[in-house]
Structure 1
Amino acid sequence: MVLKGLSEACERILGLDKSSSVLCVSHDDADGLTAGAIIYRALLREGLTPHLRCIKRLDLEFIQGVSAEEWSIFIFSDTGSGQLENFDKHILEDRQVIILDHHETTDYTHPNLTHVNPHLNGVDGAREVSGAGVSYLFARELNPDNRNLAHLALIGALGDVQDSQGGFSGHNKEIARDAVDAGLVLIEKDLRFFGRQTRPLYKAIEYTTEPFIPSLSGNESACVQFLSDLDIPAKKNDRPTRLIDLTDDEKKKLTTALILKMIEHKIDVKTAESIVGDTYTILSEKEGTILRDAKEYTSLLNACGRYEKYGVGVGICLGDRGDALDSAMSLLEEHKRYISSCYEWINKNLDSLVDAGEVYSIHAHGELSDTVVGTVASMIVNSQILNPVKPVIAFADSDDEVKVSGRATKELVDKGVNLGHAMLYAAEKTGSEGGGHDIAAGAQVPHGREDEFVKHINEKVREQLHGSG
């Protein structure tokens, strides 16, 4: 299925004078950075000179700011679908806008707007295509030579965890074929660890949260002992053993033991077996380096985004393997330490988890950065510590507002939960902004209105699960 609006978006670009001023705006996570890099490279190929800005959040203030600048056309990737009304008020009267997004939205038309979004085609933007994927499909439609950017779209999709069921589906699967056919990516079945190429094996297990491995995820010493009990050597070739260093027999033994451990802890067989699935090797990168494995690539980009070093992340996507990569590696080490502290914070603050009825809520206040509150919500909802399992709504202070992130599981979504709709509903009730996907969503809430926000989230999730009656 060709997404509605792709041809029209291409016509807008091909109709531009080469001297046209083009502002590209993208989100600041791995999906957004890869989306921005794809658009930037594709426009350069057409002889244009685009400018790229990556942002934490697209809001009215940002839109008003750029509307006062002299741009011929605006392109929003991995963002924009939730701001149609503000575009109408501040930009569309005299300038063109192209939106290439995958978050839930409404259909809206304007002569100066081209809105490409999978949800407008009945395609699931939470699982079947990411922001980078939509951007790639546009770039490929614009010029077939842009197939050489397919690997970036896969990295973006992995950043949004769109492979959570062990592989890709929908448009992501189509993009994966492009990447394989172009000789960019090798896809093979393996343990879906972060750090296959670079991390010591015990650290790769420790940092695995999807699926969460009871007694191992977040527990370094337990992971070391687990591998010792399996007679898997701690070192090979005078360095800590990595996943890529294991023999086939060692890998089979490890896989079986991990699945059995999860099943012993009451995790369903399908979820336990999802620890094995498609893995993605970037063939142009050196073996044993962090960029060789697509999932590790996403972790590097997320670190760049979370520390607001957007140019570093985009530079890596565009091929900088010098200063940008060095900077990103330093950011990643800092980010790893911070994520480890998040595990510790969760363990120390489980008593602060509030059962609000249909959801759980937890508030980090100023103890954690707002840039990791979504990660914290994911860790909790996937940890198997919740009984029963419900969506998790996490809060953290963010300047003059409170950042909110909600996470659910695939099983909850299958039962009817849609956190994107629930966040939008609660945001409207509290005079704030929010939205996202069914399984992951976010908002910004005024200080002091967190309890009210949770109340409205609870109302909407109850309605989704049990009906309005």
Structure 2
Amino acid sequence: MSRSLKGLRWRVRVGECEPETLSQMLGVPPLLARLLSNRGICKKEAVKEFLTPSLSRLHDPFLMRDMERAASRILKAVEGGERIMIHGDYDADGVTSSALLYLALQRLGVKPLVYLPRRGVEGYGLSDAAVEWAAEKGVRLIITTDCGSGAHEEVELAAEKGMDVVITDHHEITHPLPPAVAVVNPKRRDDLYPFKGLSGVGVAFK
């Protein structure tokens, strides 16, 4: 049993099936067999599904509240040639969420603006500065990634500037939802999406 840099002991979780048997049965390396065992993935079909996932096995994205409203508003902006801004976050989840959404919109013939806040200056989430910047650039639709579920004042400011906001987020919701066109977040109390552990980029992918 090894120790961490702080002297804490790492305890390896005991798997639900014997890794050596699993390795031989599936013809996979012992380390992979141990990881599968630790996650309780022991049956052949379960292993196959885990190692070779397909889009057909994913939950329907339209189980999420406001997904249809979000998709409709984005499509309207695309078809109408409106300027779109993606507002991400400065961490890995926020950056990958923004990149994914950018590439998706690019495939639809749109080249959106991307705004990533400066950590030390603006902090986390949609800010007044970002909204003002978007207004100066002629943006009509702001799409947040990995943030926005608590951005009441900023969404109201955007509306005053003639902009709609679509929020995609995955953080816990501790306040009433902001008055955005859509708030797509699996952690909404009224949300029906069965998996609540999606990352921000997972929500953006949906």
Structure 2: gaps of 5 or more residues: 1-58
- The one-letter amino acid of 1:51's match is L
Report Cα offsets for 1:18-53 as digits up to 9, x if no partner: 532111111111111110111001111112121112
Q: Secondary structure at the match of 2:143?
A: strand
Matched, 1:86 2:188: no
Q: Return closer, same or farther for 1:18/1:49 CA change in 2, 3 Å cut-off.
A: farther
| Aligned equivalents of 1:122, 1:104: Cα separation in 2 | 15
Matched, 1:76 2:144: yes
| 1:333-352 superposed matches below 5 A | none
Judge conservation of contact 1:100–1:135 (CA < 8 Å) in 2: yes
Matched, 1:31 2:93: yes
Q: Residue 128 of structure 1 corresponds to which residue in structure 2?
A: 197
Judge conservation of contact 1:18–1:48 (CA < 8 Å) in 2: no
- Kindly state the Cα deviation for residue 4 of structure 1 after the two structures are TM-superposed: 0.7
Q: Secondary structure at the match of 1:115?
A: strand
- Kindly state the Cα deviation for residue 100 of structure 1 after the two structures are TM-superposed: 0.5
Q: Return closer, same or farther for 1:8/1:71 CA change in 2, 3 Å cut-off.
A: same
| Aligned equivalents of 1:78, 1:87: Cα separation in 2 | 15
| Aligned equivalents of 2:96, 2:76: Cα separation in 1 | 25
Matched, 1:61 2:129: yes
- Kindly state the Cα deviation for residue 101 of structure 1 after the two structures are TM-superposed: 0.6
| Aligned equivalents of 2:90, 2:139: Cα separation in 1 | 21
Identical amino acids, percent of aligned pairs: 27
Matched, 1:96 2:158: no
| 1:175-324 superposed matches below 5 A | none
Q: Residue 20 of structure 1 corresponds to which residue in structure 2?
A: 82
| Aligned equivalents of 2:176, 2:108: Cα separation in 1 | 29
Q: Return closer, same or farther for 1:109/1:42 CA change in 2, 3 Å cut-off.
A: same
- The one-letter amino acid of 2:69's match is E
Q: Residue 30 of structure 2 corresponds to which residue in structure 1?
A: none
| Aligned equivalents of 2:134, 2:143: Cα separation in 1 | 12
| 1:334-373 superposed matches below 5 A | none
| Aligned equivalents of 2:71, 2:152: Cα separation in 1 | 20
Q: Return closer, same or farther for 1:69/1:124 CA change in 2, 3 Å cut-off.
A: farther
Judge conservation of contact 1:21–1:72 (CA < 8 Å) in 2: yes
**Superposition TM-score, scaled by structure 1 size:** 0.27
- Kindly state the Cα deviation for residue 122 of structure 1 after the two structures are TM-superposed: 7.0
Q: Kindly indicate which of the two structures has a greater share of residues assigned to strand.
A: 1
When the two chains are superposed, the root-mean-square deviation of aligned CA atoms in Å is: 2.5
| Aligned equivalents of 1:29, 1:124: Cα separation in 2 | 26
**Superposition TM-score, scaled by structure 2 size:** 0.57
Report Cα offsets for 1:166-195 as digits up to 9, x if no partner: xxxxxxxxxxxxxxxxxxxxxxxxxxxxxx
Q: Residue 45 of structure 2 corresponds to which residue in structure 1?
A: none
Report Cα offsets for 1:226-280 as digits up to 9, x if no partner: xxxxxxxxxxxxxxxxxxxxxxxxxxxxxxxxxxxxxxxxxxxxxxxxxxxxxxx
Report Cα offsets for 1:34-86 as digits up to 9, x if no partner: 10111001111112121112223333333344344410111110111121232
| 1:378-457 superposed matches below 5 A | none
Report Cα offsets for 1:327-361 as digits up to 9, x if no partner: xxxxxxxxxxxxxxxxxxxxxxxxxxxxxxxxxxx
Q: Residue 65 of structure 2 corresponds to which residue in structure 1?
A: 4
Equivalenced residues, count: 134
Q: Return closer, same or farther for 1:122/1:84 CA change in 2, 3 Å cut-off.
A: farther
| Aligned equivalents of 2:146, 2:140: Cα separation in 1 | 20
| Aligned equivalents of 1:8, 1:91: Cα separation in 2 | 18
Q: Secondary structure at the match of 2:114?
A: strand
